[in-house]
Amino acid sequence: MPVMTGKTAFMEMLRAEGVRYIFGNPGTSELAIMAALEDYPDINYVLAAQEGVAMGMADGYSCGTGQPSMVNLHIETGLANGISLLHHAMDGGVPLVLTAGNKDTRKLAEGRSDLPGMVAQFAKWSAEVTNAQQIPGAMRRAFNEAKTPPTGPAFLAFAFDAFDGMADVEIIPSSKQYHRVAPDLQAVEDAALILAGSENPMILVGDRLGMSGGVGRAVELAELLGARVYATSYARMNFPTGHPQFLGRINPVLPAARDVFASADVILAVGTNVFSGFFYCPGSTIAPGTRLIHLDSSAKEVGKSEPTDVGIVADPKIGLEHLVDAVGSAMTGQAREASKGRTAGLSKEKTALKAAWQRRLNERWDQRPMPVERMMHELAQVLPGDAVIADDTITSRDALHGAFAFSDPDGIFSERGGAIGWGMGSALGLKLAYPGRPVVGLLGDGSAMMTVQGLWTAANEELPVLYIICNNRSYRILKLNMDIYQSQMLQSESPANKYIGMDFGRPFNIAAIANAMGVYGRSIEDPAELGPAVGEALASGKPAVLDVAINGSV
């Protein structure tokens, strides 16, 4: 075996894993890595001015490529700054490998931080490397952990002396893995019999469906059953939003969702948590007479919190392929006719939803500041069909989905966890993943300010991302949640809120911040200016920010 330093083994393992970018913000604990990088011109260090930006870039790059990305932060201080978006990556199942340097092991008496302990609850695997001999094996496992379903982040700390130590090592990358796990055939048969005999079936789709590439099979099954389809999350294209049976996104943990679920006699949940959210509502989300089938690649989610009639642990795409065949064989002629009737009814319901959206747009058309519906309408007229959208809009998301129809598997990526600040960095990572496509980051002003330093990286790396800010001058999500808390959790009949700490008395001028960081920035209040400004920004081939004032009332 070749003898080399730990830092050389580290870099050789990155090369063997096919890593092209290290996203990071270095500190003294990373000096060995930064020195070693000089001998590896094929691996690019993308510098972030704040650790959350590095985490966001890695997140976006992994989402776009489907491969584990590499983030390097520094000791406990930098690591702490990145933990919020590490939490986001864990919730969203983002395959990335996060590393941080630590003090020399000989500093034990003086005190060393337990870096793996800091992040253990937000990573699939968390460990520390203390000598050079451990580096290849530890890195191989980290990449394996990251890309094995359910995917997610892995963390490695590196003692400072491990990088300069010498060792006999073998540079062997993580193996190519085959994760298409087939379902248990008895489970498929049991689920098919329930679905084939259902009178009002419902399908709930989540992000692990989109990640598996099984959307086409979900459409096939929905059409076979005449099922209504809702998305519990839409961080990527999980079902074509223009499809007549797709009735939109739904928050399954809120009381209002229970009325929707109660209309179904069978619910098939695919690739989604059943169910998760912040607010607690007593009792089961699903009505006593409704049967639940859960198909997922994450075994821990199946049957976790809701009574489940049939739990199927399998790759969503492969599982749906089996279900389509089994349901097709089990359905009677009468069941197929009933399915056609349901489909016709859903088409009318979809038409009514579109009409309601148009009425809302027309009613608010001339409001100032412009309504978010008008903003999204204007964007839908001008954004290229091949644009990749990094959606960090949060409370503007309903308007986004009302104005746009998503059918491209790579057309939209959204934040998935409880942390805000994802959008600035993720749009940059998506641009590196899709260099030949326009990338547009749609961000709320509150989220944008969490990692606004990403604009400096956009300028420094000359990444032509167009950021469009939904500037409602508030943490509007908190206002909406305050209303939910008082009216639905506390059952207050006449809630009155002052929304303390939720309004920006001095609004963020993100366009000015952009200009100060070397990125073209423009504030927009007139809706008529938005379309031409988007065209000019995209044509420039440079990063740009359009800071759009919108109505933030609740």
CB 410 within 8 A of CB 438: no
Q: Is 180 a member of any domain? A: no
List the structure tokens of 521: 């920035």
Sequence-ordered list of residues with C-beta below 8 angstroms from that of 515, at least 6 positions apart, any chain: 521
pLDDT at 277: 78
Structure pTM?
Answer: 0.95
pLDDT at 301: 94
pLDDT at 62 over 90: yes
Q: How many domains, in total, are found in the chain?
A: 3
Cis peptide before 282 (omega within 30 of 0): no
- 495-520 pLDDT, tens digit per residue, is 788 999 999 999 999 999 999 999 99
Q: Is 359 a member of any domain? A: no
Domain CATH code at residue 190: 3.40.50.1220
Start-to-end C-alpha separation, the chain: 65
Q: Are residues 412 and 332 in the same domain?
A: no
For residue 439, report the phi and psi dihedrals to the nearest 5 degrees. -115, 130
pLDDT at 459: 98
Q: Kindly indicate the confidence band of residue 179, based on its pLDDT and cuts at 50, 70 and 90.
A: confident
**Residue-by-residue DSSP string for 252-313:** TTSHHHHHHHHT-SEEEEESS-SS--SS--SS-SS-TT-EEEEEES-GGGTTSSS--SEEEE
pLDDT at 429: 98
- Please state whether 213 falls in left (phi above 0), alpha (psi between -120 and 50) or beta: left
pLDDT at 410: 95
Q: Are residues 219 and 336 in the same domain?
A: yes
Q: Kindly indicate the confidence band of residue 223, based on its pLDDT and cuts at 50, 70 and 90.
A: very high
Please name which of 486, 427, 459 lies closest in space to residue 542, comparing C-alpha atoms: 459
Q: Are residues 329 and 369 in the same domain?
A: no
Q: Kindly indicate the confidence band of residue 344, based on its pLDDT and cuts at 50, 70 and 90.
A: very high
Please name which of 542, 328, 457, 434 lies closest in space to residue 45, comparing C-alpha atoms: 457
Q: Which of 262-271, 274-283, 391-400, 453-462 is predicted with the least confidence, judged by mean pLDDT?
A: 274-283
Q: Are residues 486 and 340 in the same domain?
A: no
Environment class of 253 (CB within 10 Å of its CB; exposed 0-12, middle 13-18, buried 19+):
middle
User: Is the torsion defined by CA of 298, 152, 218, 318 positive or negative?
Assistant: negative
Q: Are residues 29 and 74 in the same domain?
A: yes
Q: Is 355 a member of any domain? A: no
Average pLDDT, the chain: 95
Q: Kindly indicate the confidence band of residue 234, based on its pLDDT and cuts at 50, 70 and 90.
A: very high
Q: Which of 79-83, 470-474, 482-486 is predicted with the least confidence, judged by mean pLDDT?
A: 482-486
Q: Are residues 142 and 236 in the same domain?
A: no
Domain that holds residue 424: 365-549
pLDDT at 524: 98
Domain boundary (168, 194, 215) is at: 168
Q: Cα–Cα distance between 276 and 134 in angstroms, integer? A: 38
Domain boundary (168, 200, 232) is at: 168
Q: Are residues 109 and 205 in the same domain?
A: no
Q: Which of 263-267, 276-280, 329-333 is predicted with the least confidence, judged by mean pLDDT?
A: 276-280
Over range 254-279, report the average pLDDT.
89
Q: Kindly indicate the confidence band of residue 417, based on its pLDDT and cuts at 50, 70 and 90.
A: confident
User: Is the torsion defined by CA of 272, 280, 390, 17 positive or negative?
Assistant: negative
Q: Kindly indicate the confidence band of residue 252, based on its pLDDT and cuts at 50, 70 and 90.
A: confident
Over range 339-365, report the average pLDDT.
95
Q: Which of 462-476, 493-507, 521-535 is predicted with the least confidence, judged by mean pLDDT?
A: 493-507
Q: Is 174 a member of any domain? A: no
Q: What percent of the chain lies above the pLDDT cut of 70?
A: 100
Q: Which of 127-136, 278-287, 340-349 is predicted with the least confidence, judged by mean pLDDT?
A: 278-287
pLDDT at 418 over 90: no
Q: Are residues 48 and 115 in the same domain?
A: yes
pLDDT at 400: 97
- 80-109 pLDDT, tens digit per residue, is 999 999 999 999 999 999 999 999 999 888
Q: Are residues 410 and 318 in the same domain?
A: no
List the structure tokens of 53: 């930006």
Q: Is 79 a member of any domain? A: yes
Q: Is 176 a member of any domain? A: no
Domain boundary (316, 350, 384) is at: 350
Over range 540-547, report the average pLDDT.
98
Q: Is 379 a member of any domain? A: yes
Q: Are residues 216 and 129 in the same domain?
A: no
H helices of 180-229, where?
185-196, 207-212, 215-225
- 22-50 pLDDT, tens digit per residue, is 999 999 999 999 999 999 999 999 999 99
Q: Is 179 a member of any domain? A: no
Q: Are residues 254 and 285 in the same domain?
A: yes
Over range 419-448, report the average pLDDT.
97
pLDDT at 389: 98
**Residue-by-residue DSSP string for 121-151:** GGSSEEEEE-SGGGHHHHHHHHHHHHHSSSP
Over range 197-225, report the average pLDDT.
97
Q: Cα–Cα distance between 114 and 75 in angstroms, integer? A: 10
Q: Are residues 464 and 371 in the same domain?
A: yes
Domain CATH code at residue 109: 3.40.50.970
Rg (CA), the chain: 25
Q: Cα–Cα distance between 179 and 177 in angstroms, integer? A: 6
Q: Cα–Cα distance between 411 and 430 in angstroms, integer? A: 11
Q: Cα–Cα distance between 353 and 364 in angstroms, integer? A: 17
pLDDT at 419 over 90: no
List the structure tokens of 394: 């949060």
User: Is the torsion defined by CA of 315, 320, 326, 331 positive or negative?
Assistant: positive
CB 272 within 8 A of CB 298: no
pLDDT at 490 over 90: no
